[in-house]
Amino acid sequence: MEVFMAAIQWESKYEVGIPVIDKQHKKIVKILNRIYGFQDRKPDEKKMQKIFDDLKNYIETHFETEEKYISEHNSSGIDEQKHEHGNFIDTICTYQKDFLKQNPLALINLFNFVWDWFAHHILVVDKKWLAPGAQQG
């Protein structure tokens, strides 16, 4: 197992106050740090494919958890979440295709996209619809 220095450290400001979702967000940060570890060298295609698959699969599981929670507690936010989640998965697939086409910037672009989206999504969208006391539909 390869060990890389973490680019992103988990901070309490990312917590939405729902333990299962916070735990999932932490796992996404771990996967993101795995991607970061490959930016300075030529990545092994099999290892990167596994990271892409792990990211997509885990994100899909995470999105299902969020969407279920919102449906049960705050139905007015579900359409916004589903739209953002669908766009995210589509973009990840685009970066995966770029990587497979040997685009040298694919990993950097993937890392930057996921981190920017992740930080915005948690700090703005998730906190709007998931945090205790969030808007009710």
CATH code of residue 80: 1.20.120.50
d(CA 121, CA 28): 12
* Mean pLDDT, residues 1-29 taken together: 81
pTM (predicted TM-score): 0.79
pLDDT at 132: 59
d(CA 15, CA 39): 27
Number of domains in the chain: 1
Please report how many Cα atoms fall inside a 13 Å half-sphere around the Cα of residue 16, on the Cβ side. Answer: 27
85 assigned to some structural domain: yes
137 assigned to some structural domain: no
Domain that holds residue 57: 19-129
Range name among 49-53, 80-84, 94-98, 133-137 with the lowest pLDDT average: 133-137
Q: How far, rounded to the nearest angstrom, does the alpha carbon of residue 33 sit from its chain's CA centroid?
A: 11
Confidence band of 124 (pLDDT split at 50, 70, 90):
confident
* One-character DSSP codes across 28-52: HHHHHHHHHTTTTSPPPHHHHHHHH
d(CA 102, CA 69): 39
pLDDT at 137: 47
